[in-house]
């Protein structure tokens, strides 16, 4: 598989975070972070060829957000309940961008959309 990724010019990055307590804006903020990453990929690579995904797991269920086309936007597959702890997997698999730059942009996108990390590594809404 590594050979295929190398030949395609592709890269991927993912990070796991925990949101201590969700609120009404959590889903919108995550969608904005995803879109920010996809727009950066488009500027950097000349087009957006790939997939940006978020999976939000609460005690009750997992909600997914997918972005494969900026014109279509983020596809949401449910609503995040308010006031719950949530584990979040933020992933991107794309072509023609540097993996380290992608990782940095994903972290910056979270920060610029209202998330901050506390001393325990838990993401909190600002």
Chunked mean pLDDT (size 10), the chain, 126 residues: 61 89 92 97 94 95 96 95 93 94 93 75 53
Write down how long the chain is.
126
Retrieve residue 49's tokens: 């060829």
Give the domain ranges of the chain.
2-125
How high is the pLDDT of residue 32? 97
104-121 per-residue burial string, b: 16 or more CB within 10 A, e: under 16: ebbbebbeebbbeeeeee
Alpha helices in 1-126 (DSSP H): 2-8, 26-45, 99-112
How high is the pLDDT of residue 114? 86
How high is the pLDDT of residue 1? 46
How high is the pLDDT of residue 120? 54
Q: What is the CATH number of domain 2-125?
A: 3.30.300.330
Q: In what order do the strands lie in the sheet with 62-67?
A: 75-76, 62-67, 50-57, 86-95, 10-19, 123-125, 115-117
How high is the pLDDT of residue 89? 93
């Amino acid at each position: 598989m590594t050979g295929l990724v190398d030949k395609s010019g592709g890269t991927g990055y993912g990070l796991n975070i925990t949101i201590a307590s969700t609120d009404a804006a959590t889903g919108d903020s995550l969608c904005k972070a995803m879109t920010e990453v996809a727009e950066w990929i488009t500027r950097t690579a000349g087009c957006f060829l790939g997939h940006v995904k978020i999976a939000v797991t609460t005690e009750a269920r997992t909600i997914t957000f997918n972005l494969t086309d900026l014109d279509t936007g983020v596809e949401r597959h449910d609503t995040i309940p308010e006031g719950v702890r949530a584990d979040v997997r933020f992933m991107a698999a794309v072509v023609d961008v540097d993996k380290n730059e992608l990782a940095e942009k994903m972290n910056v996108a979270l920060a610029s959309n209202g998330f901050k990390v506390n001393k325990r590594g838990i993401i909190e809404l600002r």
